[in-house]
Amino acid sequence: MTQVIGTKTEVPTPIDEVVDDEVETAQLVVVANRLPVRPSSAKEGDGGWRPSPGGLVTALSSVLQESDGLWIGWPGASTDEPVPKEFEGIRLKSVEISPEEYEEFYLGFSNATLWPLYHDAIRAPTFHRHWWLAYQTVNRRYAEAAAQAVETNGTVWVHDYQLQLVPQMLRELRPDVKIGFFLHIPFPPAELFMQLPWRKEILQGLLGADLIGFQVHSNASNFSRLARRQLSATGHDGTLRYQGRDTTVGAFPISVDCDQLISLAQDPAILKRCDELRETLGNPQRVLLGCDRLDYTKGIQQRMKAVAELFAEGTLVPGKDVMVQVAVPSRESDSHYERERHELEQIVSEMNGEFGVVGSPVVHYLHQNLPYDELVALYLCGDVMLVTPFCDGMNLVAKEYVMCRTNLDGVLILSEFAGAAKELRGAFIVNPHDLEGVKEAIRTALKAGKKEVKSRMLRMRRQILRRNVFDWANLFLGALSGLSESPSPELSALADEVRD
Protein backbone atom coordinates (compact mmCIF):
# COMPACT_ATOMS: atom_id res chain seq x y z
CA MET A 1 0.00 0.00 0.00
CA THR A 2 1.42 3.33 -0.99
CA GLN A 3 1.78 5.86 1.74
CA VAL A 4 -0.50 8.86 1.46
CA ILE A 5 1.55 11.92 0.81
CA GLY A 6 1.22 14.78 3.19
CA THR A 7 0.06 12.70 6.13
CA LYS A 8 2.26 13.53 9.09
CA THR A 9 4.00 10.53 10.60
CA GLU A 10 3.09 10.14 14.29
CA VAL A 11 6.68 10.13 15.51
CA PRO A 12 9.44 11.53 13.29
CA THR A 13 12.16 8.99 12.55
CA PRO A 14 15.24 9.87 14.65
CA ILE A 15 17.99 11.32 12.49
CA ASP A 16 20.63 8.74 13.47
CA GLU A 17 18.35 5.95 12.28
CA VAL A 18 18.11 7.57 8.88
CA VAL A 19 21.73 8.56 8.40
CA ASP A 20 23.83 5.52 7.69
CA ASP A 21 27.51 5.91 8.68
CA GLU A 22 28.62 4.07 5.54
CA VAL A 23 26.91 6.54 3.25
CA GLU A 24 28.63 9.63 1.91
CA THR A 25 27.16 12.72 3.46
CA ALA A 26 27.25 16.43 2.73
CA GLN A 27 26.03 19.72 4.16
CA LEU A 28 24.58 20.67 0.76
CA VAL A 29 22.72 18.08 -1.28
CA VAL A 30 21.19 18.72 -4.70
CA VAL A 31 18.42 16.38 -5.81
CA ALA A 32 17.45 16.41 -9.48
CA ASN A 33 15.95 13.79 -11.74
CA ARG A 34 19.17 13.55 -13.75
CA LEU A 35 22.76 13.41 -12.55
CA PRO A 36 25.14 15.99 -14.02
CA VAL A 37 26.85 13.20 -15.96
CA ARG A 38 25.71 10.90 -18.72
CA PRO A 39 27.34 7.79 -20.21
CA SER A 40 29.31 8.53 -23.42
CA SER A 41 27.35 7.69 -26.54
CA ALA A 42 28.39 4.92 -28.95
CA LYS A 43 29.54 7.67 -31.35
CA GLU A 44 31.82 9.17 -28.69
CA GLY A 45 33.02 5.64 -28.18
CA ASP A 46 35.18 6.06 -25.06
CA GLY A 47 32.89 4.16 -22.68
CA GLY A 48 33.32 6.89 -20.07
CA TRP A 49 31.16 9.66 -18.65
CA ARG A 50 30.49 13.14 -19.98
CA PRO A 51 28.89 16.15 -18.36
CA SER A 52 25.16 16.27 -19.06
CA PRO A 53 24.19 19.23 -21.18
CA GLY A 54 22.12 21.95 -19.64
CA GLY A 55 22.02 25.03 -17.55
CA LEU A 56 21.45 23.31 -14.24
CA VAL A 57 24.82 21.59 -14.34
CA THR A 58 26.54 24.90 -15.08
CA ALA A 59 24.53 26.64 -12.39
CA LEU A 60 25.26 24.24 -9.59
CA SER A 61 28.72 22.93 -10.37
CA SER A 62 30.66 25.71 -8.71
CA VAL A 63 28.37 25.90 -5.66
CA LEU A 64 28.75 22.17 -5.13
CA GLN A 65 32.49 22.17 -5.79
CA GLU A 66 33.03 24.98 -3.27
CA SER A 67 30.89 23.37 -0.58
CA ASP A 68 31.99 19.77 -1.22
CA GLY A 69 28.34 19.05 -1.90
CA LEU A 70 26.65 15.97 -3.28
CA TRP A 71 24.34 15.55 -6.28
CA ILE A 72 21.68 12.85 -6.22
CA GLY A 73 20.09 11.80 -9.51
CA TRP A 74 19.50 9.23 -12.22
CA PRO A 75 22.26 8.57 -14.78
CA GLY A 76 19.75 8.33 -17.66
CA ALA A 77 20.71 5.66 -20.16
CA SER A 78 21.63 2.26 -18.79
CA THR A 79 25.28 1.31 -19.02
CA ASP A 80 27.60 -1.37 -17.66
CA GLU A 81 29.98 1.29 -16.37
CA PRO A 82 29.38 2.12 -12.70
CA VAL A 83 28.48 5.75 -12.10
CA PRO A 84 31.63 7.56 -10.90
CA LYS A 85 31.66 8.61 -7.25
CA GLU A 86 32.89 12.00 -8.29
CA PHE A 87 32.94 13.96 -11.53
CA GLU A 88 34.74 17.26 -12.06
CA GLY A 89 34.82 17.94 -8.33
CA ILE A 90 31.18 17.05 -7.63
CA ARG A 91 30.33 14.02 -5.53
CA LEU A 92 27.61 11.91 -7.10
CA LYS A 93 25.05 9.48 -5.80
CA SER A 94 22.93 7.65 -8.31
CA VAL A 95 19.30 6.64 -7.99
CA GLU A 96 18.16 3.62 -9.97
CA ILE A 97 15.02 3.69 -12.07
CA SER A 98 13.74 0.34 -13.36
CA PRO A 99 12.48 -0.12 -16.96
CA GLU A 100 8.87 -0.15 -15.67
CA GLU A 101 9.50 3.02 -13.67
CA TYR A 102 11.07 4.60 -16.74
CA GLU A 103 7.75 3.99 -18.51
CA GLU A 104 5.45 4.99 -15.67
CA PHE A 105 7.39 7.58 -13.68
CA TYR A 106 9.54 9.23 -16.39
CA LEU A 107 7.65 8.88 -19.68
CA GLY A 108 4.30 8.55 -17.93
CA PHE A 109 3.53 10.76 -14.95
CA SER A 110 6.43 13.20 -15.42
CA ASN A 111 6.27 13.67 -19.17
CA ALA A 112 2.79 12.68 -20.28
CA THR A 113 0.82 13.94 -17.24
CA LEU A 114 2.70 16.84 -15.64
CA TRP A 115 4.69 18.15 -18.63
CA PRO A 116 1.67 18.84 -20.89
CA LEU A 117 -0.52 19.93 -17.95
CA TYR A 118 2.08 22.48 -16.81
CA HIS A 119 2.61 23.70 -20.40
CA ASP A 120 -0.89 25.01 -21.05
CA ALA A 121 -2.19 21.52 -21.94
CA ILE A 122 -0.80 22.01 -25.47
CA ARG A 123 -1.22 18.25 -25.68
CA ALA A 124 -3.92 16.57 -23.61
CA PRO A 125 -2.42 15.35 -20.31
CA THR A 126 -2.99 11.66 -19.58
CA PHE A 127 -3.99 10.58 -16.08
CA HIS A 128 -3.28 7.03 -14.96
CA ARG A 129 -3.47 5.83 -11.38
CA HIS A 130 -0.59 3.37 -11.86
CA TRP A 131 1.63 6.21 -13.15
CA TRP A 132 0.79 8.14 -10.00
CA LEU A 133 1.82 5.16 -7.88
CA ALA A 134 5.16 4.99 -9.72
CA TYR A 135 5.63 8.75 -9.23
CA GLN A 136 5.19 8.33 -5.47
CA THR A 137 7.49 5.32 -5.32
CA VAL A 138 10.31 7.00 -7.22
CA ASN A 139 9.91 10.30 -5.34
CA ARG A 140 10.18 8.36 -2.08
CA ARG A 141 13.41 6.76 -3.31
CA TYR A 142 14.93 10.18 -4.00
CA ALA A 143 13.71 11.50 -0.64
CA GLU A 144 15.26 8.54 1.18
CA ALA A 145 18.55 8.97 -0.68
CA ALA A 146 18.59 12.65 0.31
CA ALA A 147 17.65 11.85 3.93
CA GLN A 148 20.61 9.48 4.08
CA ALA A 149 23.04 11.89 2.52
CA VAL A 150 22.37 15.23 4.17
CA GLU A 151 24.25 16.09 7.34
CA THR A 152 22.50 17.32 10.48
CA ASN A 153 20.96 20.76 9.91
CA GLY A 154 22.18 20.63 6.31
CA THR A 155 20.46 21.88 3.18
CA VAL A 156 18.74 19.96 0.41
CA TRP A 157 17.84 21.65 -2.86
CA VAL A 158 15.28 19.70 -4.90
CA HIS A 159 14.73 20.45 -8.60
CA ASP A 160 11.84 20.32 -11.01
CA TYR A 161 8.50 18.75 -11.77
CA GLN A 162 9.68 15.14 -11.64
CA LEU A 163 10.28 15.44 -7.86
CA GLN A 164 7.47 17.54 -6.39
CA LEU A 165 6.69 15.10 -3.59
CA VAL A 166 10.27 14.98 -2.34
CA PRO A 167 10.12 18.08 -0.08
CA GLN A 168 7.29 16.73 2.11
CA MET A 169 8.63 13.16 2.13
CA LEU A 170 12.06 14.41 3.10
CA ARG A 171 10.68 16.69 5.81
CA GLU A 172 9.01 13.70 7.45
CA LEU A 173 12.30 11.80 7.41
CA ARG A 174 14.54 14.73 8.30
CA PRO A 175 12.77 17.59 10.08
CA ASP A 176 16.16 19.14 10.91
CA VAL A 177 17.13 20.08 7.33
CA LYS A 178 16.45 23.19 5.28
CA ILE A 179 14.63 22.23 2.10
CA GLY A 180 14.48 24.31 -1.06
CA PHE A 181 12.58 23.48 -4.22
CA PHE A 182 12.92 25.11 -7.64
CA LEU A 183 10.52 24.52 -10.51
CA HIS A 184 12.24 25.00 -13.87
CA ILE A 185 9.05 24.79 -15.93
CA PRO A 186 5.87 26.89 -15.68
CA PHE A 187 3.42 26.35 -12.83
CA PRO A 188 -0.06 26.38 -14.37
CA PRO A 189 -3.07 28.49 -13.43
CA ALA A 190 -5.80 26.90 -11.29
CA GLU A 191 -8.07 26.23 -14.29
CA LEU A 192 -5.53 23.69 -15.56
CA PHE A 193 -3.95 22.44 -12.36
CA MET A 194 -7.39 21.52 -10.99
CA GLN A 195 -7.63 18.76 -13.61
CA LEU A 196 -4.97 16.78 -11.77
CA PRO A 197 -6.66 14.07 -9.68
CA TRP A 198 -3.75 14.29 -7.19
CA ARG A 199 -3.64 18.09 -7.02
CA LYS A 200 -3.76 18.25 -3.22
CA GLU A 201 -0.96 15.73 -2.82
CA ILE A 202 1.29 17.66 -5.19
CA LEU A 203 0.63 20.93 -3.36
CA GLN A 204 1.29 19.25 -0.02
CA GLY A 205 4.45 17.69 -1.40
CA LEU A 206 5.79 21.09 -2.41
CA LEU A 207 4.77 22.74 0.85
CA GLY A 208 7.22 20.47 2.63
CA ALA A 209 9.89 22.91 1.40
CA ASP A 210 10.99 26.02 3.31
CA LEU A 211 11.44 27.93 0.06
CA ILE A 212 9.80 27.30 -3.29
CA GLY A 213 11.25 29.13 -6.29
CA PHE A 214 9.57 29.69 -9.65
CA GLN A 215 10.88 31.27 -12.84
CA VAL A 216 8.39 34.14 -12.87
CA HIS A 217 6.15 35.87 -10.40
CA SER A 218 2.87 34.80 -12.05
CA ASN A 219 3.83 31.13 -11.51
CA ALA A 220 4.51 31.80 -7.82
CA SER A 221 1.10 33.47 -7.57
CA ASN A 222 -0.61 30.54 -9.29
CA PHE A 223 0.91 28.23 -6.70
CA SER A 224 0.05 30.40 -3.69
CA ARG A 225 -3.54 30.83 -4.81
CA LEU A 226 -3.94 27.09 -5.26
CA ALA A 227 -2.39 26.33 -1.88
CA ARG A 228 -4.86 28.70 -0.20
CA ARG A 229 -7.83 27.40 -2.15
CA GLN A 230 -7.09 23.69 -2.05
CA LEU A 231 -5.33 23.27 1.27
CA SER A 232 -6.63 26.27 3.19
CA ALA A 233 -3.07 27.48 3.61
CA THR A 234 -3.02 31.02 4.97
CA GLY A 235 -0.82 34.00 4.25
CA HIS A 236 0.01 36.05 1.19
CA ASP A 237 1.84 35.30 -2.06
CA GLY A 238 5.29 35.62 -0.43
CA THR A 239 4.80 33.42 2.65
CA LEU A 240 2.29 30.66 3.16
CA ARG A 241 1.45 29.04 6.46
CA TYR A 242 0.34 25.41 6.35
CA GLN A 243 0.11 22.85 9.17
CA GLY A 244 2.03 25.11 11.56
CA ARG A 245 4.96 25.79 9.21
CA ASP A 246 5.89 28.67 6.93
CA THR A 247 6.93 28.27 3.32
CA THR A 248 8.37 31.19 1.40
CA VAL A 249 7.38 31.40 -2.24
CA GLY A 250 9.10 33.60 -4.83
CA ALA A 251 10.37 34.18 -8.34
CA PHE A 252 14.03 33.40 -9.10
CA PRO A 253 14.55 33.73 -12.86
CA ILE A 254 17.37 31.41 -13.90
CA SER A 255 20.22 32.75 -16.01
CA VAL A 256 23.34 31.70 -17.93
CA ASP A 257 27.09 31.69 -17.37
CA CYS A 258 27.78 35.08 -18.97
CA ASP A 259 31.59 34.99 -18.69
CA GLN A 260 31.82 31.55 -20.26
CA LEU A 261 29.57 32.53 -23.18
CA ILE A 262 31.43 35.80 -23.76
CA SER A 263 34.75 34.04 -23.80
CA LEU A 264 33.50 31.27 -26.12
CA ALA A 265 32.02 33.90 -28.43
CA GLN A 266 35.44 35.53 -28.69
CA ASP A 267 37.40 32.30 -29.02
CA PRO A 268 39.30 32.40 -32.36
CA ALA A 269 38.54 28.72 -33.06
CA ILE A 270 34.80 29.30 -32.62
CA LEU A 271 34.88 32.49 -34.69
CA LYS A 272 36.66 30.56 -37.43
CA ARG A 273 34.04 27.83 -37.20
CA CYS A 274 31.33 30.46 -37.61
CA ASP A 275 33.01 31.69 -40.83
CA GLU A 276 33.23 28.10 -42.07
CA LEU A 277 29.56 27.54 -41.31
CA ARG A 278 28.54 30.67 -43.22
CA GLU A 279 30.62 29.55 -46.14
CA THR A 280 29.11 26.06 -46.06
CA LEU A 281 25.69 27.68 -46.04
CA GLY A 282 26.63 29.45 -49.28
CA ASN A 283 27.55 32.83 -47.73
CA PRO A 284 23.94 33.89 -47.34
CA GLN A 285 23.07 37.51 -46.63
CA ARG A 286 20.95 36.55 -43.66
CA VAL A 287 20.83 33.47 -41.46
CA LEU A 288 17.68 32.76 -39.46
CA LEU A 289 18.28 30.38 -36.57
CA GLY A 290 16.24 28.15 -34.27
CA CYS A 291 17.75 25.88 -31.58
CA ASP A 292 15.39 23.86 -29.44
CA ARG A 293 14.86 20.54 -27.80
CA LEU A 294 12.44 18.81 -30.18
CA ASP A 295 9.36 19.41 -28.05
CA TYR A 296 5.78 20.26 -28.97
CA THR A 297 5.91 23.20 -26.54
CA LYS A 298 8.60 24.98 -28.57
CA GLY A 299 6.39 26.12 -31.48
CA ILE A 300 8.93 24.96 -34.08
CA GLN A 301 6.37 23.98 -36.73
CA GLN A 302 4.49 27.26 -36.46
CA ARG A 303 7.74 29.21 -36.79
CA MET A 304 8.74 27.19 -39.90
CA LYS A 305 5.36 27.96 -41.45
CA ALA A 306 5.94 31.68 -40.89
CA VAL A 307 9.38 31.41 -42.51
CA ALA A 308 7.91 29.40 -45.42
CA GLU A 309 5.33 32.13 -46.06
CA LEU A 310 8.06 34.77 -46.02
CA PHE A 311 9.91 32.80 -48.72
CA ALA A 312 6.65 32.48 -50.64
CA GLU A 313 5.95 36.23 -50.57
CA GLY A 314 9.54 37.13 -51.48
CA THR A 315 10.58 38.78 -48.21
CA LEU A 316 13.10 35.97 -47.87
CA VAL A 317 14.96 34.96 -51.01
CA PRO A 318 16.28 31.44 -51.60
CA GLY A 319 20.04 31.48 -52.00
CA LYS A 320 20.31 34.79 -50.15
CA ASP A 321 18.45 33.86 -46.99
CA VAL A 322 18.71 30.61 -45.13
CA MET A 323 17.18 29.06 -42.02
CA VAL A 324 19.10 26.71 -39.71
CA GLN A 325 16.96 24.71 -37.31
CA VAL A 326 18.58 22.52 -34.66
CA ALA A 327 16.12 20.14 -33.01
CA VAL A 328 17.75 18.21 -30.19
CA PRO A 329 16.27 14.68 -29.88
CA SER A 330 14.15 14.29 -26.76
CA ARG A 331 11.76 11.73 -25.16
CA GLU A 332 11.62 9.94 -28.48
CA SER A 333 9.56 6.96 -27.36
CA ASP A 334 6.60 9.22 -26.50
CA SER A 335 4.06 9.29 -29.35
CA HIS A 336 3.55 13.09 -29.10
CA TYR A 337 7.26 13.64 -29.61
CA GLU A 338 7.40 11.12 -32.42
CA ARG A 339 4.52 12.85 -34.18
CA GLU A 340 6.06 16.27 -33.62
CA ARG A 341 9.24 15.10 -35.32
CA HIS A 342 7.43 13.65 -38.31
CA GLU A 343 5.28 16.72 -38.82
CA LEU A 344 8.25 19.03 -38.52
CA GLU A 345 10.32 16.99 -40.95
CA GLN A 346 7.41 17.02 -43.37
CA ILE A 347 7.30 20.83 -43.24
CA VAL A 348 11.07 21.13 -43.67
CA SER A 349 11.08 18.86 -46.72
CA GLU A 350 8.11 20.71 -48.23
CA MET A 351 9.94 24.01 -47.78
CA ASN A 352 13.09 22.70 -49.39
CA GLY A 353 11.10 21.04 -52.15
CA GLU A 354 9.21 24.20 -52.93
CA PHE A 355 11.79 26.96 -52.45
CA GLY A 356 15.22 25.31 -52.53
CA VAL A 357 17.58 25.42 -55.47
CA VAL A 358 20.17 22.76 -56.23
CA GLY A 359 22.97 23.13 -53.70
CA SER A 360 21.00 25.67 -51.60
CA PRO A 361 18.20 24.30 -49.48
CA VAL A 362 16.28 27.05 -47.69
CA VAL A 363 16.25 25.11 -44.42
CA HIS A 364 19.19 23.27 -42.89
CA TYR A 365 17.69 20.93 -40.33
CA LEU A 366 19.72 19.04 -37.73
CA HIS A 367 18.04 16.48 -35.51
CA GLN A 368 20.98 15.88 -33.20
CA ASN A 369 22.79 16.88 -30.04
CA LEU A 370 25.49 19.42 -30.87
CA PRO A 371 28.66 20.10 -28.87
CA TYR A 372 28.40 23.40 -27.01
CA ASP A 373 31.19 25.00 -29.11
CA GLU A 374 29.25 24.24 -32.28
CA LEU A 375 26.11 25.73 -30.78
CA VAL A 376 27.97 28.93 -29.92
CA ALA A 377 29.36 29.07 -33.49
CA LEU A 378 25.76 28.82 -34.71
CA TYR A 379 24.65 31.58 -32.33
CA LEU A 380 27.36 33.74 -33.88
CA CYS A 381 26.09 32.91 -37.38
CA GLY A 382 22.43 33.59 -36.67
CA ASP A 383 21.42 37.10 -37.70
CA VAL A 384 17.83 36.48 -36.60
CA MET A 385 17.24 34.12 -33.69
CA LEU A 386 13.74 32.67 -33.43
CA VAL A 387 12.68 31.55 -29.96
CA THR A 388 8.94 31.08 -30.25
CA PRO A 389 7.66 28.55 -27.70
CA PHE A 390 3.94 28.30 -26.94
CA CYS A 391 4.81 28.02 -23.26
CA ASP A 392 8.23 27.91 -21.58
CA GLY A 393 9.48 28.32 -18.01
CA MET A 394 12.43 30.54 -18.97
CA ASN A 395 14.20 29.47 -22.21
CA LEU A 396 17.93 29.74 -21.80
CA VAL A 397 18.60 29.58 -25.55
CA ALA A 398 17.32 33.15 -25.79
CA LYS A 399 19.71 34.30 -23.05
CA GLU A 400 22.63 32.31 -24.48
CA TYR A 401 22.16 33.88 -27.92
CA VAL A 402 22.10 37.38 -26.48
CA MET A 403 25.23 36.79 -24.37
CA CYS A 404 27.12 35.51 -27.43
CA ARG A 405 26.39 38.63 -29.49
CA THR A 406 29.35 40.60 -28.15
CA ASN A 407 29.37 42.72 -31.35
CA LEU A 408 25.91 43.98 -30.39
CA ASP A 409 24.39 42.80 -33.64
CA GLY A 410 21.73 40.13 -34.22
CA VAL A 411 18.04 40.27 -33.39
CA LEU A 412 15.96 38.08 -31.15
CA ILE A 413 12.34 37.23 -31.97
CA LEU A 414 10.94 36.01 -28.67
CA SER A 415 7.62 34.49 -27.64
CA GLU A 416 5.70 36.41 -25.03
CA PHE A 417 5.00 33.02 -23.44
CA ALA A 418 8.64 32.31 -22.54
CA GLY A 419 9.68 33.36 -19.03
CA ALA A 420 12.63 35.17 -20.65
CA ALA A 421 10.22 37.67 -22.25
CA LYS A 422 9.65 39.22 -18.81
CA GLU A 423 13.30 40.26 -18.77
CA LEU A 424 14.38 40.60 -22.41
CA ARG A 425 12.38 43.64 -23.36
CA GLY A 426 14.81 44.46 -26.17
CA ALA A 427 13.58 41.45 -28.15
CA PHE A 428 10.89 41.57 -30.82
CA ILE A 429 8.13 40.03 -28.74
CA VAL A 430 5.57 37.86 -30.55
CA ASN A 431 2.53 35.72 -29.94
CA PRO A 432 3.76 32.44 -31.48
CA HIS A 433 0.20 31.36 -32.33
CA ASP A 434 -0.26 34.47 -34.46
CA LEU A 435 1.40 33.57 -37.75
CA GLU A 436 0.83 37.02 -39.25
CA GLY A 437 2.29 38.60 -36.11
CA VAL A 438 5.40 36.40 -36.27
CA LYS A 439 5.86 37.20 -39.97
CA GLU A 440 5.49 40.92 -39.30
CA ALA A 441 8.03 40.75 -36.45
CA ILE A 442 10.54 39.00 -38.74
CA ARG A 443 9.94 41.60 -41.49
CA THR A 444 10.42 44.43 -38.98
CA ALA A 445 13.51 42.79 -37.49
CA LEU A 446 15.05 42.35 -40.95
CA LYS A 447 14.45 46.02 -41.73
CA ALA A 448 15.70 47.34 -38.37
CA GLY A 449 18.60 49.76 -38.67
CA LYS A 450 21.99 49.13 -37.06
CA LYS A 451 21.30 51.68 -34.33
CA GLU A 452 18.05 50.05 -33.28
CA VAL A 453 19.56 46.54 -33.39
CA LYS A 454 22.46 47.68 -31.23
CA SER A 455 20.30 49.45 -28.68
CA ARG A 456 17.95 46.46 -28.35
CA MET A 457 20.90 44.07 -27.94
CA LEU A 458 22.58 46.32 -25.38
CA ARG A 459 19.40 46.50 -23.36
CA MET A 460 19.05 42.72 -23.29
CA ARG A 461 22.71 42.15 -22.47
CA ARG A 462 22.62 44.62 -19.60
CA GLN A 463 19.60 42.83 -18.18
CA ILE A 464 21.24 39.39 -18.31
CA LEU A 465 24.57 40.67 -17.02
CA ARG A 466 22.88 41.99 -13.90
CA ARG A 467 22.47 38.45 -12.63
CA ASN A 468 24.27 35.41 -14.00
CA VAL A 469 23.53 31.80 -13.24
CA PHE A 470 25.84 31.74 -10.21
CA ASP A 471 24.01 34.72 -8.74
CA TRP A 472 20.80 32.80 -9.32
CA ALA A 473 22.08 29.79 -7.35
CA ASN A 474 23.58 31.94 -4.60
CA LEU A 475 20.49 34.07 -4.31
CA PHE A 476 18.28 31.02 -3.92
CA LEU A 477 20.59 29.34 -1.41
CA GLY A 478 21.12 32.62 0.43
CA ALA A 479 17.37 33.13 0.70
CA LEU A 480 16.97 29.56 1.92
CA SER A 481 19.66 29.81 4.58
CA GLY A 482 18.52 33.23 5.75
CA LEU A 483 14.85 32.44 6.05
CA SER A 484 13.29 34.22 8.94
CA GLU A 485 9.79 35.42 9.67
CA SER A 486 9.73 37.64 6.58
CA PRO A 487 11.33 37.13 3.16
CA SER A 488 14.79 38.65 2.68
CA PRO A 489 14.98 42.09 1.05
CA GLU A 490 16.80 40.49 -1.93
CA LEU A 491 13.96 38.05 -2.39
CA SER A 492 11.33 40.78 -2.21
CA ALA A 493 13.34 42.99 -4.57
CA LEU A 494 13.76 40.17 -7.06
CA ALA A 495 10.10 39.28 -6.88
CA ASP A 496 9.17 42.93 -7.50
CA GLU A 497 11.54 43.15 -10.43
CA VAL A 498 10.04 40.27 -12.32
CA ARG A 499 6.47 41.12 -11.37
CA ASP A 500 4.29 41.95 -14.35
* Identified binder of ligand G6P from the candidate list 40, 126, 330, 455, rule CB under 6 A: 330
Q: Which is nearer to ligand G6P, 178 or 293 (CB)?
A: 293
Q: Which is nearer to ligand G6P, 294 or 430 (CB)?
A: 294
Q: Which is nearer to ligand G6P, 271 or 370 (CB)?
A: 370
Q: Which is nearer to ligand G6P, 26 or 185 (CB)?
A: 185
Minimum distance from residue 184 beta carbon to ligand G6P (Å): 4
Looking at residues 152 to 191 of the shown chain, list those that interact with ligand G6P (rule: CB under 6 A): 160, 184-185
Looking at residues 21 to 40 of the shown chain, list those that interact with ligand G6P (rule: CB under 6 A): 33-34
Cα 447 to Cα 442: distance, rounded to the nearest angstrom? 9
Minimum distance from residue 78 beta carbon to ligand G6P (Å): 15
Minimum distance from residue 34 beta carbon to ligand G6P (Å): 5
Q: Which is nearer to ligand G6P, 172 or 392 (CB)?
A: 392
331-350 mask for ligand G6P (x: CB under 6 A)?
A: x-------------------
Minimum distance from residue 134 beta carbon to ligand G6P (Å): 15
Minimum distance from residue 76 beta carbon to ligand G6P (Å): 8
Minimum distance from residue 318 beta carbon to ligand G6P (Å): 34
Q: Does 369 bind ligand G6P (CB under 6 A)?
A: no
Minimum distance from residue 75 beta carbon to ligand G6P (Å): 12
Q: Which is nearer to ligand G6P, 27 or 330 (CB)?
A: 330
Q: Which is nearer to ligand G6P, 186 or 487 (CB)?
A: 186
Minimum distance from residue 97 beta carbon to ligand G6P (Å): 12
Q: Which is nearer to ligand G6P, 157 or 428 (CB)?
A: 157
Q: Which is nearer to ligand G6P, 33 or 61 (CB)?
A: 33
HEC-encoded secondary structure of the chain? CCCCCCCCCCCCCCHHHHCCCCCCCEEEEEEEEECCEEECCCCCCCCCEEECCCHHHHHHHHHHHHHCCEEEEECCCCCCCCCCCEECCEEEEECCCCHHHHHHHHHHHHHHHHHHHHCCCCCCCCCCHHHHHHHHHHHHHHHHHHHHHEEEEEEEEEECHHHCCHHHHHHHHCCCCEEEEECCCCCCCHHHHCCCCCHHHHHHHHHCCCEEEECCHHHHHHHHHHHHHHHCCEECCCEEEECCEEEEEEECCCCCCHHHHHHHHCCHHHHHHHHHHHHHCCCCCEEEEEEEECCCCCCHHHHHHHHHHHHHHCCCCECCEEEEEEEECCCCCCHHHHHHHHHHHHHHHHHHHHHCECCECCEEEECCCCCHHHHHHHHHHCCEEEECCCCECCCHHHHHHHHHCCCCCCEEEEECCEHHHHCCCCCEEECCCCHHHHHHHHHHHHHCCHHHHHHHHHHHHHHHHCCCHHHHHHHHHHHHHCCCCCCCHHHHHHHHHHCC
State which residue has the least CB distance to ligand G6P: 184
Q: Which is nearer to ligand G6P, 33 or 255 (CB)?
A: 33
Minimum distance from residue 79 beta carbon to ligand G6P (Å): 16
Considering CB under 6 A, how many residues would be counted as binding ligand G6P? 7
Minimum distance from residue 73 beta carbon to ligand G6P (Å): 10
Site residues for ligand G6P per CB under 6 A: 33-34, 160, 184-185, 330-331
